[in-house]
Structure 1
Amino acid sequence: MTNPARIDVHQHLIPPEQRRAMSGRAAAVGWPAPVWDVRSAIAMMDRRSIATGLLSFAAPVGAPDDPAGARATARRVNEYTAELVKDRPERFGHFAVLPLPDVDGALAEAAYALDELKADGVMVLSNAHGRYPGDPAFEPLWAELDARAAVVLVHPTGPPGTVLPDLPGPLVDFPYDTTRAALHLVVNGVPRRHPRIRMILPHGGGFVPYAAQRLACAGWLRPGVTPEDVLADLRRFYFDTAITTGPAALPSLMAFAAPGRVLYGSDFPMVPEEWGTDFDAGLDGYPHWTAGQLHAINRGNAEGLFPRLACG
């Protein structure tokens, strides 16, 4: 039987120990401070026909000079999230946070989260204290995740540098940093060397679909790489629909993404429910769906990435 309810690949949680830090970070970037608890999350999901939300903690887990603290925080967050999933496995999934740029710590946490906590995938930020994911130092992590055919959510964070006054980072800087991370991965050959990793770019991939032909010019600047290579590797990514269903953004995303690589995302609670329902309406009301395409975005494509959530 086909289940019409959505699988939300981009939903967040805020563990109680991280609530104050998360609220402070939201205030610092000029974004509404999120409020989250399990009961309100499930109520939101019921109102928006979301069967399962894959949870992630989308914030740095430590200061750049405190790798031990980052490891400890990542472990606490991942164990807390795993307990939520254990209690309600049909309603929640889990992207484990990794303490990058500490590669050894990230390798250890990925193994623990995937093997012991049964996480559905891992999450990395678009830059780890200024170091982008195509950095050669991160190669051991990508090799390990490729060996596991892991799903990786590449969640944006603020780029290095000063934010623009009165312009919240999530509005303008996050899509820019997603784009920067995606191109950095591609020009450093990570998706091509590690094709078994399934990487998700939130928010429709930032500016990737719209700017893909421009980004492909990077192929002319690197020996042995062509613009066609860059485009092909950019299309290896999966993309979620969070904040990306407007009348200009959604057609661009659908024109660029490879078949089967667009997934539903809410970005709750970072995107408040009253905002998110408008984006849901944009998705549902898009006039150019072909037969089965909307169901694939809402659920079917995610079932391919997360077989445990597939309907029997």
Structure 2
Amino acid sequence: MTTRRNFLKGAAASGIAFCSCGMLDAAHAQPKAPRLPVKVNGKRVLTVDVHAHCYFREAINLMGDGADKVLPPVKGVPEHFIAIEQRLKEMDAMAIDMEVLSINPFWYGKDRDTAAQIVRVQNEKLAELCAARPERFAAFASLTLQYPDLAAQQLETAVKKQGLRGAAIGGSVLGEDFSDPKFHPVWAKAEELGAVLFIHPQSTPELAKRFKGNGWLSNTIGNPLDTTIALQHLIFEGTLDRFPGLKIVAAHGGGYLGSYAARGDHACFVSPQNCNPNITLKKKPSEYLNQLYFDAMVFTPEGLRHLVAQVGASQVLLGTDHPIPWEQHPVDHVFATSMLSDKQKIAILGGNAARLFGMKLA
């Protein structure tokens, strides 16, 4: 009987080859032995993970009765509380030279004083951690975005005095989109400082009922959707035109926008009554993707190839979600995307991050 296995053995013996870029990329994507330093064509390159997390117990304890709801129901929770040597071993195993740490907002619903305390503790702890190992860690500050005036002050302190690289923000603030004018002072301050804003979603709470059931849909669908909505509002409401110097990194490949951006180019032509006649964008909606940045957490070589084709290799950065084990072989993922040139691989692995954050290249 001719089984699939026997057929493939025979095909190999007879020299039959199946030529498929997808199959070849998948084959190359098999995890290899961890390696540092990473080299491309014999040249040492810096690897920077811009999507890595941590928590500090002192900040969580300030949540009071809500403290037990902060930690996510995932693998890797204990590793969020960084023991430096252990974290460095984990980074080495993924061939990561540097992580840019962030803390997903859990304080947006707290009062001004409590939220300010949480942010102060976190930013001080992040600055201390980065100062201890500046060659391995950088960080995004936390902000009390529910109080934009305070958030702008915190951002200035974080960048100018604490050496943090920008700020991590959610996909919205308690359902209020970032395009709302109330947030303009924060974006103006970020633009003034050259600070990088890292958008990390927090599901899409309005759809909680639809997300119930198997598959953790509140995350697997809800998180990318939340980022997609946030970016579309920033584009369509003219926020990116108002603040053209904003440096924004979107988690998880920017959600779904990179796969369907061109649909937005037709929206106001098809239904002008659903568009604001007082907002005239300076570019096609899809063209704004080329001024945003996206992490490479799209899991497959084909996904990464497509993202690069849509936004440009210069806009893609390495990201893992570490210590949550979404992407455990990020460097191999880039090397497995055989359509990328060596120059593009070097850029995605760390060159783009070095340029964006003002880091020294290896």
Tell me, yes or no, whether TM beats 0.5.
Answer: yes
Shift of 1:2: 5.4
Which whole-Å deviations, capped at 9, do the CAs of 1:100-126 have from their partners, x for residues lacking one?
121011011111111110111111111
Question: Is the CA contact (8 Å cut-off) linking 2:51 and 2:101 kept in structure 1?
Answer: yes
1:84 Cα offset (Å): 0.3
Please give the alpha-carbon distance, in whole angstroms, between the structure 2 residues aligned to 1:70 and 1:222.
35
- What is the SS of the residue equivalent to 2:49? strand
Aligned residues: 304
Q: Give the superposition deviation at 1:132.
A: 1.4
- 2:170 paired residue number: 125
8 Å contact from structure 1 (residues 238, 261) kept in 2: yes
Displacement of 1:58: 1.2
SS in 1 for 2:199: strand
> CA 1:101/1:217 → structure 2, altered by over 3 Å: closer, same or farther?
farther
What is the CA-CA distance between 1:96 and the residue it aligns to? 0.3
Determine if the alignment matches structure 1 residue 58 to structure 2 residue 58.
no
Specify the alignment match of 1:231 in structure 2. 286
Where 2:342 maps in the other structure, the secondary structure is coil
Query: Which of the numbers 172, 175, 179 marks the counterpart of 1:134?
Result: 179
Does the residue aligned with 1:260 lie in a helix, a strand or coil?
Answer: helix
Q: 1:262 to 1:19 in 2, by over 3 A?
A: same
* Distance in 2, Cα, partners of 1:289 & 1:305: 20
The yes-or-no answer on 1:10 pairing with 2:61 is no
The separation in 2 between residues aligned to 1:235 and 1:303, in whole angstroms, is 18
Letter in 1 for 2:215: L
Q: How does 1:216-255 map to 2 (within 5 A)?
A: 216-220=265-269, 221-223=275-277, 225=280, 229-242=284-297, 244-255=298-309
Aligned AA for 1:294? K
What are the ranges of 5 or more consecutive residues in structure 1 without an aligned counterpart?
none
Select 1:167's aligned residue among 209, 215, 222: 215
Offset, 1:228: 5.1
Rate the CA distance shift 1:297–1:114 in 2: closer, same or farther, 3 A.
Answer: same
Q: Structure 1 pair 276/189, CA: closer, same or farther in 2 (3 Å)?
A: same
Q: How does 1:291-306 map to 2 (within 5 A)?
A: 291-306=342-357
Please tell me whether the aligned partners of residues 235 and 288 of structure 2 are also in contact (alpha carbons under 8 angstroms). Answer: yes
Are the aligned partners of 1:53 and 1:92 in contact in 2 as well (CA < 8 Å)? yes
Q: Which moved more, 1:156-165 or 1:42-51?
A: 156-165
Supply the distance in 2 between the matched residues of 1:41 and 1:98 (Cα, whole angstroms).
Answer: 25
Cα distance, 1:171 vs structure 2: 1.2
Give 1:210's aligned amino acid. Answer: S
Aligned-partner Cα distance in 2 for 1:26–1:171: 17
1:59 shift after superposition: 2.7
User: CA 1:46–1:211 in 2, change beyond 3 Å: closer, same or farther?
Assistant: same
C-alpha distance in 2, partners of 1:94/1:279? 19
Partner secondary structure for residue 70 of structure 1: helix
* Structure 2 residue 85 is matched with structure 1 residue 31: no
Calculate the TM-score normalised by the size of structure 1: 0.89
**Amino acid corresponding to residue 294 of structure 2 in structure 1:** F
Q: Which amino acid aligns with 1:31?
A: V
Residue 154 of structure 2 is aligned to residue 154 of structure 1? no
2:293–2:316 CA contact under 8 A, matched in 1: yes
Correspondent of 2:233 among 184, 199, 206: 184
Aligned to 1:285: 336
Tell me if the contact between 2:301 and 2:336 (Cα under 8 Å) persists in the aligned partners: no
CA distance 1:230–1:16, change in 2 (3 Å): same
2:45 match: secondary structure: coil
When structure 1 is superposed on structure 2, of 119-128 and 248-257 the one drifting more is 248-257
Name the aligned partner's letter for residue 234 of structure 1: L
Letter in 1 for 2:91: M
Q: CA deviation at 1:280?
A: 4.3
Residue-by-residue CA offset, 1:191-221 (whole Å, 9 max, x unaligned)? 2221222100111110011010123334443
Residues 22/212 of structure 1: CA separation in 2 closer, same or farther (3 Å cut) = farther
Q: Which moved more, 1:160-169 or 1:297-306?
A: 160-169
Partner of 1:266: 320
Deviations 1:251-284 (CA, angstroms, capped at 9, x unpaired): 3211111341111111101x32xx4225543332
d(CA) in 2 for partners of 1:286 and 1:147? 36
Counterpart CA distance in 2 for 1:310 and 1:184 is: 34
Q: What is the SS of the residue equivalent to 2:194?
A: coil
2:19 corresponds to:
none
TM-score by length of 2: 0.78
* Structure 2 alignment gaps of length 5 or more: 1-41, 270-274
1:192–1:233 CA contact under 8 A, matched in 2: no
Change (3 A) 1:22 1:165: farther
1:49 maps onto 2:95 in alignment: yes
Letter in 2 for 1:309: K
Asked whether the equivalents of residues 60 and 70 of structure 2 are also in contact (C-alpha less than 8 Å), the reply is: no
Counterparts of 2:95 and 2:329 in 1: how far apart (Å)?
14
